[in-house]
A and B are shown apart, each in its own frame.
Chain A
């Protein structure tokens, strides 16, 4: 199969450089990239139609972008494409937004952080940073002097004009400005300080009566520069950032980074640690889904339901608390295993929780899932088709509600997931109600996974011995896991140092938000909040 893909690549772009690294890596020049991506996406036999990750890297001599593509039918078929430009003054690359919608926000992110502009991207504004930000933070020669970018408390007007660069048919580049909204559009701001946007999201929404015409997403109100900070910290130090990305999948995110480092330096994680990790991961997933459930019901006006969800969540938090002293952010995983062993009554507490939670799931079903108001506000609302889900890279319960089998635990089983039995919940409806039901069903599946593991936790060490200073050998490392909101990924480029050269987190929530303008179009403004609740995104995960 690999040979066929190689042949396909070489047939399309003869001068492509193919290397066998952790993944099949292909380097092409910028002009050929679009053609190659299109061929890989559109061919019938090995279709690479899911853009997992788009990472901008300052390679020193050149500014480049790495694309991780994989097949939506089999997520374990992966190929990495690389391209770059040596022009640091005015770096230009070609956009693939017309092939993958998810590339849009990612390219805008790369522009804000590395200064690379993408030809043919319809909207080349900076994504996280203000338009007047001086310098490009992820470049190695970035000047961090705070005087260049002083803190300003002056409110500025929003400018709804986007610059873009287009290539005309005769190969000329034209720079132009376009209006995001039409002149007589009625525009309201939803967010950034709004209780129902699930964080500091800012939707500039144009309305036609109470119908949503268009949403313009503004992000970066919690952009903390985690990727830049990581470049000057050692791997064990970086671990604590992962918990603060998507704080509801804290343990799962941390698991991803730990696994990435462990695979790179060949550390064997003790069996006991694996069991503890997976059980804690699944508890985290239940915790996250419960919060999503509570928040969504609250968004739809059911305050009582919110209190119920939070009540069950408290029991999981108590288990976390007793294990390692943390409630929300538990700092449990470390490179080589887990930081603390489980406490004496851990199994008893978890086993008591499983039947309790099952009983409560029935209760949730009884009083919300069939409620007339809930049905009216979620059924058929915020529809997303399977092709749209793939193009926007919407994974997790939301992607599976559109009938896309995208569970990393099934496709690329990591840790113990190939030893446990569980169902991947798929629904065909693709609406807010399907996403809502998917979460409740996944809680049941998580309980089932825990049930299989809880009695079999083997004796032994809970953490492997590691060197005092962890250095990753030169190379590029990817790790993908299934977080509660979707696929979470870690990409590390190491140059043999104890710090990463470039570290990038693939955020599931960014894909979820990028689909919001699509699925909210034509819906009522009141339903926008409910759709947001059904997507369940976490903003610090997007902004990083």
Chain B
């Protein structure tokens, strides 16, 4: 089956990496057939969802500052409908983990994640959140936030530039767009 049109304004599908992953994901989701009507409604819902992702910024260190740059006028995260940063996990769809996560923080990040309402996504921003980064050998650092909570998108960099963050966010939008919302088991 050909790749469903996961359209992101201004950037053709071929320009994205990891398209194969999304194709496999679609195959997996559509293994039991697709309801024609529901899938159309799905598309509408997902169009809305993907363009108004409300992030919760779990900023612990340097990457948080780059997120602030991304949110300010020059880079303007509002172009993606994501400027509504929520400080309450109950109102957020996406948790951006920006910075190192250490032992003392582990129970707290898990708790905040658990408080978020489904459907929820996690973006690991920067080397520390992905793997522990430069501090991987430390006694107090957790080697990647995915040891505690599931991660959807990894954005490498130390810290990543706002542009890389946007690329990661667009990848997340693409993922949201192919999901089936109605009448299916969610993630």
Binding site for B on A (CB under 8 A): 128-130, 137, 142, 144, 149, 151-156, 192-195, 199-200, 220-226, 228-229, 232, 240-241, 244, 247-248, 291, 306-307, 310-311, 313-314, 317, 327-329, 539-540
Contacts and interface: CB of A to CB of B under 8 A. Distances in A.
A224 B140 CA distance: 6
B102 A224 contact: yes
A149 B87 contact: no
Contacts of A156: 107
Contact of A328 (B57, B62, B99): B62
A247 B62 contact: yes
A310 B69 contact: yes
A310 B60 contact: no
B73 interface: yes
A144 B134 CA distance: 17
A439 B140 CA distance: 34
B128 to A, nearest CB: 8
A229 B110 contact: no
Contacts of B135: 224-226, 229
Nearest to B134: A240
Contacts of A540: 60-62, 99-100
A222 B69 contact: no
- Looking at chain B's contact residues, is the secondary structure mostly helix, strand, loop, or mixed? mixed
B61 A193 contact: no
B156 interface: no
A310 B77 CA distance: 13
Contacts of B110: 153, 155
12 contacts: A130-B103, A149-B103, A153-B106, A194-B87, A221-B102, A222-B61, A222-B102, A224-B138, A225-B141, A314-B69, A328-B69, A540-B60
Contact of A153 (B74, B138, B140, B148): B148
A223 B99 CA distance: 12
Nearest to A310: B72
Contacts of A291: 65, 68
Nearest to A145: B139
Contact of B69 (A193, A220, A221, A313): A313
Give the interface residue-count category, chain B. 35 or more
Given A153-B148, A224-B100, A328 B65 contact: yes
A221 B62 contact: no
B112 interface: yes
B150 to A, nearest CB: 13
B64 interface: yes
Nearest to B136: A229
A229 B137 contact: yes
Contact of A220 (B72, B74, B104, B109): B104
B104 A129 contact: yes
B168 interface: no
B186 to A, nearest CB: 23
Contact of A222 (B74, B99, B106): B99
B161 interface: yes
Interface string B121-145: 0000000000000110111111000
Most chain B beta-carbon contacts within 10 A, residue among A151, A200, A291: A200
A201 to B, nearest CB: 11
B139 A225 contact: yes
B141 A310 contact: no
B62 A244 contact: yes
B118 interface: no
Given A152-B106, A199-B64, A311 B140 contact: no
A199 B59 contact: yes
Nearest to A194: B87
Contacts of A248: 65
A223 B140 contact: yes
A329 B159 contact: yes
B108 interface: yes
B57 A310 contact: no
B58 interface: yes
B183 to A, nearest CB: 33
A137 B135 CA distance: 15
Contacts of A328: 62, 65-66, 69, 159
B158 interface: yes
B83 to A, nearest CB: 11
Contact of B108 (A142, A193, A329): A193
Contacts of A226: 135, 138
A329 B62 CA distance: 8
Contact of A241 (B61, B134, B147): B134
Given A137-B139, A153-B110, A244 B102 contact: no
Contact of A327 (B60, B66, B139): B66
Contacts of A129: 104, 140
Contacts of B74: 310-311, 314
A319 to B, nearest CB: 14
B111 interface: yes
Nearest to B71: A310
